[in-house]
Amino acid sequence: MGITFHIRRPNPRSQTITVLAGTQKSEKKMGRSTTSKDAQALFHSLHSAYVATPTKLKIIDSYIMFAVVTAVIQVVYMAIVGSFPFNSFLSGVLSCIGTAVLAVCLRIQVNKENKEFKDLPPERAFADFVLCNLVLHLVIMNFLG
């Protein structure tokens, strides 16, 4: 049987994979390698598409990654040690999640491909981001104990 894949991507590069008829074993083998090959191809296309995003958005994305990783580390630590000063735990996790959320909002508002926020000046978005972060950190410092 022949299996044909058509994958739609922003980049006009499609790939067609045809599998020749053969034994079941070789079909299975081909199926597995097809799936892994597909995953690889998917990853490559995603990667190359991502490389094309503007630098500002990439900076925001790395900031978000940092915040999420910090949050995960704190949750793992709490699972090991126990939730003794629970308010400190909540404060730490909330600071990470809050910064991540605010950064995501900034990214949405600044991304030129979003039709919704076409008329919003990016300076206005950044000013909102800064003010919200100030409020967030004020709350965090008070709740940290």
| Residues at the interface with another protein (CB under 8 A) | 55-56, 59-60, 63, 66-67, 70-71, 73-74, 77, 81, 84-85, 88-89, 91-93, 95-96, 99, 103, 126, 130, 133, 137, 140-141, 144-145
The CB-of-120 to another protein minimum distance in angstroms stands at: 16
Decide whether 45 or 70 has the Cβ nearer to another protein: 70
Decide whether 41 or 78 has the Cβ nearer to another protein: 78
**Residue 10 CA to its chain's centroid (Å):** 18
Decide whether 17 or 122 has the Cβ nearer to another protein: 122
